[in-house]
Structure 1
Amino acid sequence: MRRIVYRVLLGGYESLNELDDVDLGDVEAILLTDDAHLTSRTWTVHQVAPEFPDDPVRSQRLLKICGHPALGTFDESLYIDNTVELRVAPGALLDAWLSEPATDIALPLHDYRDSVADEFTQVLALGLDDAAPVREQLSAYGRTASEILLQRPYWTAILARRTGDALDSRMRIWADHVLRYSRRDQLSVNLALDSTEIAVAGIDLTAHESPWHRWPVDSGRPEGGGRFVGPTSASLVLEMRRLRERLEKAGVAAAEGLRVREALASEVAGATARAAERDLEIRGLRAERAALEGDRDAALHRARSAAEEADGLRDQNAALKASTSWRLTAPLRRVSRWVRRG
């Protein structure tokens, strides 16, 4: 029986971690990489060409999920991420995880996510992938495989499996979803493995440390590398999950579920309309304030002009009264006033 442990490094994203202090025994350690200069003292290095040169992440996922001819023909394989450090011989892990003869694949269960819906929430909230395909994937699963969203998710940093046609078919489905939707393969692995055609063993362990491994170990990844910056919909995902759980617990019929969704849509539409009305009202008030400020400025201008005109008339009157002609004609003005009174 031929057994292998393999790892995939593409795109110069990180530096290789060696398999130090691990007894390989009869298990072959194979590294798939596009780095022509990479060498290793513990891995047998095979050069591979990325499926998508402009997308090393998805190219890495394809090799992780579906393998490569460079791996050769094998009976059992163990995939480990570059940030995972093995604490036991790979053969011992394969023996333990694939102890049941019927098991096709064994992988850890996520220890701090309750559901696949939670995994979607975190990917969106933390900006771990472009939000558009993640939302599209969530919507598609909600319509066609909503029960998958309630399953406990798997953690895909370690994969132990046996070769078989049925499992290869499910791995192809997994890879197709990684290519079609989010590159985060933990969002699609539950759907891919949800089949009566294969036997899956979910391993309970703590992701950061167990008797089998330690994670994460430093690999030289850039801080925040691989994250997308953009709008998220974590609150929407949480609300959808709460609504689904309420509907399931209450046993609401499909028609009632439709009514609830229509009511929610109507509420959103009403809120949008009210927001538009408030926006128009605010614009009107701003225009009215601008007009009032214009009237105020015009009135102030007229008042200043009138005050300046009054000051001018007072100055003219004072000058007239101080003139010699005003004094000489004073008797005539007194006679004129006497005649008018008289």
Structure 2
Amino acid sequence: MLLTETVNKIGMLDDVAMAQAKERMDSLIKPPGSLGQLEQIALKLAGILGQPRPRIGKRAVIVMAGDHGVTDEGVSAAPRDVTWQMLPAFINGVAGIGVLARHAGASITVVDVGVAADVDIPGVLKRRVKAGTGNIAAGPAMTRDEAVAALEVGIEVARAEIERGATLLALGDMGIGNTTPSSAILAVLGGYSVNDVTGRGTMINDEVLDKKRRAITRALEINRPDPADGVDVLAKVGGLEIAGLAGVVLGCAANRVPVVVDGFITGAAALIAAAIKPESKNYMLASHLSGEPGHGLMLELLGLTPLLHMGMRLGEGTGAALAMHIIDAACRVLDEMVTFQEAGVMDMDEEKLLQEHR
């Protein structure tokens, strides 16, 4: 099985490359640690790529699209048809992700893994497992076999991008109602109350927020997902695009390629990937802190620090595309700055020793 093979390939970071990168980073013409997170990003990338001076080349955003039966519970202000109606804007580069990916120098791959409508849009990769999930407030989102199939779609798409030369992948999502299953996933895997993890999503009022919380509560009571089994959680209360994105994470980790997590929905996918294979967290970078209240809890569970705090909550991969500039900058600092020795400048430790011996 592709999922099993992929999971078995995921290992730890390259400690030797990281040590070599740290030695160089600490000798650059700056006080140690003075570039903050830029330094940590560069060291992590060295460990992922196995390169003491990592470089980012071709980059790609993978947007997974899927619909959700739980919208029948009135949990979203937007109708389900908006999911497929947005896809041409992604392909044509005029949606938020199109603009930001273009300026990050990233390609976009849009995948129909579970859209309810019959999508026949040029440029959209048709890999639909089923026409949307079931209503999680009344039963499981999908069968376990369907969840595995959607995970494997993500693995295959990630592998194809990597074979085309991608060295940095980012996660993007499209699916009306998908903050509801994402909140359910967080509640299960984090052990949080429904109220703590459920936000307003897109433009919903107090009445709709109450419907959303009640739908998630029923979903957890009816389906009883097992927090020790990531695939079970995914199948019972997840989403098809969430499954596809979790597969992308696993595919990246198996091939030692860094993957940039976007916001709340992609964070839920990252949680599923980590539940399936904890070591996959080593290959994730958190782009930003979403305006969705549960996102910070997700990042804590994953042990990730967001690069940006901009109040963004659009999804689509927009925060991840924006963070690509910072990730590239981190690599350039490590590679292009010179050391004290290379510059012929006395470093901080040498100056301190001279002062002590005067």
Q: Which category describes the TM-score, using the shorter chain as reference length?
A: 0.3 to 0.5
- Given the two structures, how large is their TM-score scaled by the length of structure 2? 0.31
Quick one: higher RCO (CA 8 Å, sep 6+), 1 or 2? Answer: 2
- Given the two structures, how large is their TM-score scaled by the length of structure 1? 0.32
